[in-house]
């Protein structure tokens, strides 16, 4: 089992380039299956475990997929299978994003029903409600969800009870080939939704309003493969921004888009961090003394839940009491227990965590409970006394490419070791 071992105390400086966004590339690769003619060529694709999983899913479906030098090519013009077995959904919940494209193109799709995970129960009822409104029959049983339509889906007006990212994406993809107009109300507004809409539109779809709370999709007869560049990963960018802030360092995060990061930037500025927009990214300069603040996670443009645990690491180093309230997922505080192993003073009260800072964090053996929690433990390790050993890297590898190597290139005392190798530090 691999571990990342980090010794705290170094100030980080230099430049790091952000990869393409995991949460944009997964739906875009799924959407490439709708194209019944031509190839899609996707650039800036990060070499993440999740990308390899969705590539396997598409290959299983009979699409021709290749991945080389951050470019994925998908040719889905041959007839596709419409079932994805459990092994893929187990590895990655985003596998449910094949439902919309397959339903649109073939009127049928079947995938294993995703279970809960470390951050919450994560139902897909809103995805299914959308498909049903468009005329599909939904059957859930024996651990599978199957959706079936007689002929083309029908455009419909769909109100989402919560602005779910995945439901918005799945419905948008299904509606791209539906008969007539679909209106999604209370849709998610994340930048990744806009990227998917742009991709669909290049393929010949008619989607307007992505990035606002009402998306309108006029169905078309068919879509074709196109070339597309994935947007930068705002969560990876945010993770490096916290690395600069937590170590009192100075990092240029190349490719970070201010427009996608406004809530994070404003909270970090409240904490005393200097953030400047430069031509090719954001420069982040950590202060000598971080100030406490409060955050509440919300759908975009509110504060992203995927940055909550990294901010907790930062708040542990800030002077005063900070409060974090998690409203998106009901159980995204598994990292609290791990931070406590590092001497953190944290109290959970319902959906909030009270963070007493600053704490002298102590290195310890800790486990990544989800991908962002793993990144947050590494960030905490950058300021802890002694060695922090982070295990369960399988989670981190889902969402970060070479995180330890990139932090090392910025001056961190960090390395990734496998149990088979001789551990040279600690
Ligand atoms: C691959 C991907 O893009 N993952 C992101 C996506 O996940 P994902 O698309 O799964 O997240 P959603 O936006 O759907 O979930 C938000 C909330 O809605 C609830 N819900 C969702 C669907 C549904 O049918 N019913 C329902 O109740 C969820 O349980 C959760 O409490 O958005 C999350 C919220 O920004 C991010 O943390 C994830 O990184
Ligand atoms: C929760 C996340 O991803 P996923 O939805 O793929 O589990 C994340 O990226 O932080």
Could you tell me the CATH number of the domain that includes residue 251?
3.65.10.10
pLDDT, residue 21, reads: 98
- Which of 176, 209, 229 is the C-terminal boundary of a domain? 229
Ligand 1: residues within 6 Å at CB?
23, 26, 94, 120, 122-127, 162, 164-167, 188, 305-306, 328-329
Tell me: do 237 and 359 sit in the same domain: yes
Nearest protein CA to atom 32 of ligand 1, as residue: 165
Q: How many CB atoms lie within 10 A of CB 120?
A: 14
Candidates 57, 59, 56, 55; CA nearest to 42 is: 55
ipTM metric: 0.99
Closest ligand 2 atom, residue 398 Cα = 6
- 278: exposed, middle or buried (C-beta count within 10 Å: 0-12, 13-18, 19+)? exposed
- Among 372, 397, 400, the mutation site with the greatest number of ligand 2 atoms within 8 A of its Cβ is 372
Does residue 247 belong to any structural domain of this protein? yes
Tell me: do 27 and 15 sit in the same domain: no
Count of structural domains within the chain: 2
| Dist CA 234 CA 244 (whole Å) | 15
Q: What is the DSSP letter of 117?
A: B
- CA dihedral over 275, 276, 277, 283, signed as positive or negative: negative
Give the angle 186-157-138 at the CA atoms, nearest 5°: 100
List, in order, residues 6 or more apart from 402 with CB less than 8 Å away: none
Candidates 373, 348, 377; CA nearest to 362 is: 377
Distance from CA of residue 112 to its chain's centroid? 21
3-state DSSP assignment of residue 4: strand
Tell me: do 100 and 160 sit in the same domain: yes
pTM summary value: 0.97
Active site (annotated) includes residue 117: yes
Closest ligand 1 atom, residue 163 Cα = 13
- Which of 211, 229, 247 is the C-terminal boundary of a domain? 229
Tell me: do 386 and 242 sit in the same domain: yes
Does residue 347 belong to any structural domain of this protein? yes
List per-residue pLDDT tens for the chain, 426 residues long.
Answer: 899 999 999 999 999 999 999 999 999 999 999 999 999 999 999 999 999 999 999 999 999 999 999 999 999 999 999 998 888 888 888 999 999 999 999 999 999 988 767 888 899 999 999 999 999 999 999 989 999 999 999 999 999 999 999 999 999 999 999 999 999 999 999 999 999 999 999 999 999 999 999 999 999 999 999 999 999 999 999 999 999 999 999 999 999 999 999 999 999 999 999 999 999 999 999 999 999 999 999 999 999 999 999 999 999 999 999 999 999 999 899 999 999 999 999 999 999 999 999 999 999 999 999 999 999 999 999 999 999 999 999 999 999 999 999 999 999 999 999 976 544 333
Closest ligand 2 atom, residue 306 Cα = 10
Helices (H), 9-85: 22-31, 49-60
| Dist CA 47 CA 92 (whole Å) | 15
Helix 308-316, helix 371-381: angle, nearest 10: 20
Tell me: do 272 and 158 sit in the same domain: no
- Which of 178, 205, 229 is the C-terminal boundary of a domain? 229
pLDDT, residue 201, reads: 98
Does residue 94 belong to any structural domain of this protein? yes
Torsion angle in degrees (nearest 10) through CA of 268, 271, 276, 282: -30
Tell me: do 319 and 191 sit in the same domain: no
For 115, the domain range is 22-229
Q: What are the structure tokens assigned to 218, written together?
A: 């006029």
């Amino acid at each position: 089992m691999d571990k990342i071992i980090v010794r705290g105390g170094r100030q980080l400086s230099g430049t790091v380039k952000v990869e393409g966004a995991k949460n944009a590339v997964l739906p875009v690769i799924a959407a490439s299956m709708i194209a019944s003619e031509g190839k899609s060529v996707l650039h800036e694709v990060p070499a993440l475990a999740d990308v390899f999983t969705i590539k396997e899913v598409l290959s299983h479906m009979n699409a021709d997929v290749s991945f080389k030098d951050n470019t994925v090519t998908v040719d889905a013009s041959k007839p596709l299978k419409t079932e994805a077995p459990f092994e893929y959904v187990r590895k990655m919940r985003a596998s449910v994003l094949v439902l919309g494209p397959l339903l649109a193109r073939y009127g049928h799709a079947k995938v294993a029903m995703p279970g809960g995970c470390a951050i919450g129960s994560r139902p897909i009822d809103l995805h299914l409600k959308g498909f049903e409104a468009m005329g599909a029959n939904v059957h859930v049983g024996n651990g599978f969800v199957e959706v079936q339509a007689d002929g083309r889906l029908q455009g419909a007006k769909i109100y989402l009870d919560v602005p779910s990212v995945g439901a918005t994406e799945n419905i948008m993809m299904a509606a791209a080939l539906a008969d007539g107009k679909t209106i999604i109300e209370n849709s998610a507004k994340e930048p990744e939704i806009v990227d998917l809409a742009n991709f669909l539109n290049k393929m010949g779809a008619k989607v307007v309003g992505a990035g606002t709370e009402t998306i309108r999709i006029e169905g078309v007869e068919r879509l074709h493969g196109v070339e597309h560049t994935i947007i930068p990963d705002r969560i990876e960018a945010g993770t490096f921004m916290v690395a600069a802030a937590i170590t009192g360092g100075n990092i240029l995060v190349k490719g970070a888009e201010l427009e996608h990061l406004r809530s994070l930037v404003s909270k970090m500025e409240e904490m005393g961090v200097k953030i400047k927009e430069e031509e090719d990214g954001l420069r982040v300069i950590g202060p000598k003394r971080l100030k406490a603040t409060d955050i509440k996670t919300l759908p975009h443009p509110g504060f992203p839940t995927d940055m909550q645990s990294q901010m907790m690491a930062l708040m542990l180093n800030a002077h005063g009491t900070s409060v974090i309230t998690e409203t998106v997922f009901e159980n995204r505080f598994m990292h609290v227990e791990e931070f406590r192993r590092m001497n953190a003073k944290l109290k959970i009260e319902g959906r909030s965590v009270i963070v007493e800072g600053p704490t002298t964090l102590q290195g310890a053996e800790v486990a990544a409970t989800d991908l962002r929690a793993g990144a947050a433990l590494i960030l905490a390790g950058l300021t802890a006394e002694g060695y922090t050993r982070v295990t369960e890297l399988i989670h981190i590898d889902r969402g970060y490419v070479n995180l330890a190597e990139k932090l090392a290139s910025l001056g961190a005392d960090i390395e990734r070791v496998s149990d088979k190798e001789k551990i040279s530090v600690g």
